[in-house]
Structure 1
Amino acid sequence: MTPRDITLICLVLCLGMKIQAQEEDSPIPIISAVPSSVIPLNESVKILCQGTPQSFLYQLEILGNSTNKMVEEKYGFQKEAEFIINHMDTKTAGRYQCRYRKAYRWSKYSEALQLVVTGLYDKPFLSTDQDSKVIPGENISLQCGSPHTPFDRFSLTTEGGATLPQHQDEGHQGNFTLGPVTPGFSGNYRCYGWYSDNPYVWSAPSDTLKLVVKDTMNQDYKLENLIRVGVAGLVLVALLAILAENWHSYKLPHKEDRQDLPEWSYDKQKM
């Protein structure tokens, strides 16, 4: 092997190591939806794709049955790209992914983001057979159903758009068990009905069900503080009473003590 061949091999190895290092420096993008991934019909939603400051091209795609379809591209060096869907409907609902380009290579795809459009069917009901005010550690069951629309799937959401695990149909009703609950479970809950063959098209939201988890530990702590303050107050009052009594006894000596004192007289002498 000639020195020239050795030099070429070293150049190829160094180039390969540089390319591998560049790939490792390209983190997987993060995709999210603002204000929520559950959007009412004809409302807008903003899709964010976070990459690196060196990224000069971002691409948003919607996942099909077999292939992805490119939705939009954004050019310009930026750490995060914004894609806006102005009118959410059954055509724009679905699963989305994004990626970015840095130097001459594409990053990996982000995790899939599920965008759901709501308001295509009548709202279901959401109820509970228990008291909606529960204490930490207990479980609470919620029922979501529709007497007129034969949904075979139901989803429960809470404030902020967080979607809880879905539930299959049990006679046009979905049952959700939350717990053991903590104060963090407090909030407003709604549910939706939908069909398994069209998972990104949901009904209108149910009426709000407010769940309150009583913070018993905090209440016990406040009660203990009140008891401590009360006991301290009684002790302070007792001490003040003792001090006042002692002070009064020293200031006004008893009558018997005054009889033992010598009497002083003053005689005027004539000049």
Structure 2
Amino acid sequence: MLSTLIALLCLGLYLSQRISSQMQILSKPIIWAKPNFMIPSGMPVIIWCQGTHKATEYELHFEGHLFALETPNPRGMTNKVKFSIQTMTSHTAGQYKCLYRSGEHWSEPSDPLDLVLTGMYDKPTLSVHPGAEVISGENVTFYCRLETATSTFFLIKEGRSSRPQHKYGNIQADFYMGPVTTAHRGTYRCFGSYNNHLWSFPSEPVMLLVTGDVGNTSLASTEQPSSPDSWKPSLLTTKMEFQKDLAIWDHTSWNLFRISLAFLVLVAVCLLAKDWLCKKRTPEGADRASSQECRFQNTKILG
């Protein structure tokens, strides 16, 4: 009986350690830049990294290498830290990721954040055909032209976190938009570049006005359908679905552990009660057969 209880206790401890170690999986942090992911040459930028309130240290990695370390202050009272870049240069333009430590465990790296340096080349010219004012349903094409230091062009709509479209071209790129809707209204600028992270000065703004409303435009987008070569900088990466799934998984794992542990305790109590009843019914001085029978019955319960 004693060996059986010891075995049950060891099994419970093993399950406890296994579940506890699995629940140490940390959610992926969130990374974003202020005031924007596009920074004029010589201007400052702040990179924010958000983890959890239990985080004790944050690391910022630039192009795969450790760039900076930060400790949350006050510790335990905030779930994010900031990394300041006082002067944006070509040496600080590129891809960033962050991660954090809680206890002895490190989180996964965040999704990438691409910081772009602007003002490196001449200003391109941007025009739109058939004009700046069109009727909903018409086809529109933006033309971005820059004759120097260019192999790639970027078109971006100001305002919300719309990501840039990009096209390759030596002097000019044509950004075609299918039948437009009122959701395409807005101010557009374009950039030229030889490098995904080093862009020209922005073009003069072009305002597109779309009149009329054909069909449902609530889901309309300013972007072309995604293609394999689409350039997708992470303006503000969020993983709420991942964190929600992780929380549900943790809750389920903990419930399974508690149910298993309760079952083991119940089995142990049943065995003790059965053994006590067997001993009580067995007359004093009886031979060992009765005792062996009780143990055999307990063994059958475990089986």
TM above 0.5, yes or no, is yes
Partner of 1:114: 114
The residue type equivalent to 1:17 in the other structure is I
Q: Counterparts in 2 of 1:118-267, with a 5 A limit? A: 118-147=118-147, 149-160=148-159, 162-169=162-169, 171-195=170-194, 198-216=195-213
- Structure 2 contact 154–166 (Cα < 8 Å) conserved: yes
1:92 counterpart SS class? coil
**Structure 1 counterpart of 2:17, from 7, 15, 18:** 15
> Whole-Å Cα distance in 1 between the matches of residues 211 and 86 of structure 2?
41
Question: Using a 3 Å threshold, how does the CA distance of structure 1 residues 215 and 102 change in structure 2: closer, same or farther?
Answer: farther
Distance 1:136 1:19 in 2: 57
Instruction: State the number of aligned residues.
Output: 208
Consecutive unaligned residues of structure 1, counting only runs of 5 or more, are 218-271
- Is the 8 Å Cα contact of residues 60 and 70 (structure 1) preserved in structure 2? yes
**1:5: how far off?**
6.0
Deviation at 1:51, TM superposition (A): 1.4
Deviations 1:26-83 (A, max 9, x none): 32111111121011001111211121222222221112xxx42232323333212122
Secondary structure at the aligned position of 1:131 is classed as coil
Q: How big is the shift at 1:150?
A: 4.3
Structure (1 or 2) with the larger CA radius of gyration: 1
Q: Do the aligned partners of 1:132 and 1:212 also contact (CA within 8 Å) in 2?
A: yes
How far, CA to CA, are the matches of 1:192 and 1:48 in structure 2? 26
Q: What's 1:260 paired with?
A: none
Deviation, structure 1 residue 122: 0.7
Note closer, same or farther for the CA distance 1:51–1:179 as it changes in structure 2 (3 Å cut): farther
Code of the residue aligned with 1:157 in structure 2: it is I
> How much does 1:180 deviate?
3.1
Deviates most, 11-20 or 200-209? 11-20
Assess if the C-alpha contact under 8 Å between 1:136 and 1:215 holds in 2.
yes
User: Per-residue deviation at 1:117?
Assistant: 0.3
Q: Does the 8 A contact of 2:70 with 2:81 survive in 1?
A: no
From the superposition, tell whether residues 70 and 7 of structure 1 become closer, same or farther in structure 2 (CA, over 3 Å).
farther
| Residue 179 of structure 1: how far off its partner (Å) | 3.7
> What is the CA deviation profile of residues 174-225 of structure 1, one whole-angstrom value per residue up to 9, with x for unaligned ones?
1112243222221111111111xx32111111111111111447xxxxxxxx
AA in 1 matched with 2:23: A
The residue aligned with 1:251 is none
The answer (yes or no) to whether the contact 1:55–1:102 under 8 Å persists in 2 is yes
- Ranked by relative contact order (alpha carbons within 8 Å, sequence separation 6 or more), the top structure is 2
> Match for 2:182: what amino acid?
P
User: SS at the partner of 1:15?
Assistant: helix
| Letter in structure 1 aligned against 2:201 | A
Post-superposition Cα deviations, 1:216-242, rounded to whole Å, max 9, x if no partner, equal 47xxxxxxxxxxxxxxxxxxxxxxxxx
Aligned position for 1:266: none
1:259 matched to which residue of 2? none
Query: Paired residue for 2:220?
Result: none
User: What TM-score does the superposition give when structure 1 sets the normalisation length?
Assistant: 0.70
2:83 corresponds to? 83
TM superposition shift of 1:9: 4.7
1:10 deviates by: 3.7
Q: Could you tell me how far apart the structure 1 residues matched to 2:100 and 2:137 are?
A: 45
In 2: Cα distance, 1:74 partner to 1:166 partner: 38
Specify the SS of the correspondent of 1:16: helix
Contact 2:59 2:66 in 1 (8 A): no
SS in 2 for 1:128: strand
Identity %: 36
CA 1:55–1:9: 2 relative to 1, 3 Å: same
TM-score for both structures, normalised by structure 2: 0.63
Deviations 1:139-186 (A, max 9, x none): 210011113x041101011213643221111x4111112243222221
